[in-house]
């Protein structure tokens, strides 16, 4: 032992103080040193990982939303076009119906007016004819009271004459 240099000889005091010092360091660093750093780094790592995945998700969602919005817009456009088309057809049909109705109505009114006119005309003609007959009879009674053998023969003659007259009149 004496031949060995002192750094190679065991020394109880040195071992004792080394034990104390090492235990102090071990205790302090284990309690207050390393766990603080390691915990923080682990937490930071977790946070960064979480943020990355969140960002990924968000960008994905954004793309999804964009797509959805575009689809919605497209749909709206289609709806709009459809509605416009429907409106146009409805308008056309309404206009057509109205026109048809108006035509019908006018045709009806015209035909009714014509009928009325015809009826008026007929009744007027009949009245005139009756008056003319009466007048003619009276005139003929007065002018030709003796020349006529029977009323019937006279009436037929007068009718024929009147027809001629009225034909002449209408021709004229």
Partner 1 sequence: MKQIRSILFLSILLSLMLLPLQSMAAHHGVEGELNISEIVLGHLSDDYEWHIATYEGKTISIPLPIIVRSSATGSWTFCMPETLPKNFFFDGAHHGKIYEKMPDGTTTRPLDLSITKTVAQIWIVVFVLLGIFGYCTRWYKNKDEKSAAPRGFVGAMEMIVMTINDEVVKSSIGEKHYKRFAPYLLTVFFFILTANLIGLIPIFPGGANVTGNINITLFLAVCSMIAINLFGNKEYWKDIFWPNVPVLLKAPVPLMPVIELFGVFTKPFALMIRLFANMMAGHAVILSFTCVIFLGWSMGVGFGLGLNAFSIIMLLFMNCLELLVAFVQAYVFTLLSAVFIGLAHQEHEG
- Binding stretches for partner 1 (CB under 8 A): 2, 5-19, 21-22, 24-26, 28-30, 32-38, 40-41, 43-44, 46-47
Shortest distance (Å) from residue 24 CB to partner 1: 6
Shortest distance (Å) from residue 60 CB to partner 1: 23
Structure tokens at 3: 């031949």
| Cβ nearer to partner 1, comparing 9 with 79 | 9
Shortest distance (Å) from residue 56 CB to partner 1: 19
| Cβ nearer to partner 1, comparing 4 with 172 | 4
| Cβ nearer to partner 1, comparing 21 with 63 | 21
Shortest distance (Å) from residue 54 CB to partner 1: 13
Residue 137: which residues within 8 A CB-CB, separation 6 or more? 155, 158
SS3 content of the chain, % helix, strand, coil (to 5): 90, 0, 10
| Cβ nearer to partner 1, comparing 55 with 94 | 55
Shortest distance (Å) from residue 35 CB to partner 1: 8
Name the DSSP class of 163: H
CB atoms within 10 A of CB 29: 13
Structure tokens at 128: 């005139």
Compute the radius of gyration of the chain from its Cα atoms: 64
| Cβ nearer to partner 1, comparing 51 with 80 | 51
Name the DSSP class of 92: H
Tell me the backbone φ, ψ of residue 123, rounded to 5 degrees.
-65, -40
């Amino acid at each position: 032992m004496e031949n060995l240099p002192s750094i190679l000889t065991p020394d109880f005091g040195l071992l004792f103080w080394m034990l104390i010092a090492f235990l102090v360091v071990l205790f302090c660093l284990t309690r207050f040193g390393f766990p603080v750093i390691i915990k923080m780094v682990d937490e930071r790592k977790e946070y960064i990982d979480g943020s990355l995945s969140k960002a990924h998700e968000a960008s994905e969602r954004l793309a999804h939303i964009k797509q959805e919005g575009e689809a919605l817009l497209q749909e709206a456009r289609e709806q709009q076009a459809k509605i416009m088309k429907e409106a146009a057809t409805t308008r056309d049909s309404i206009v057509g119906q109205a026109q048809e109705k108006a035509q019908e109505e006018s045709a009806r009114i015209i035909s009714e007016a014509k009928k009325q006119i015809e009826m008026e005309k007929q009744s007027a003609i009949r009245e005139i004819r009756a008056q003319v007959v009466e007048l003619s009879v009276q005139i003929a009674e007065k002018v030709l009271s003796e020349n006529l053998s029977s009323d019937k023969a006279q009436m037929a003659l007068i009718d024929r004459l009147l027809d001629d007259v009225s034909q002449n009149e209408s021709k004229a």
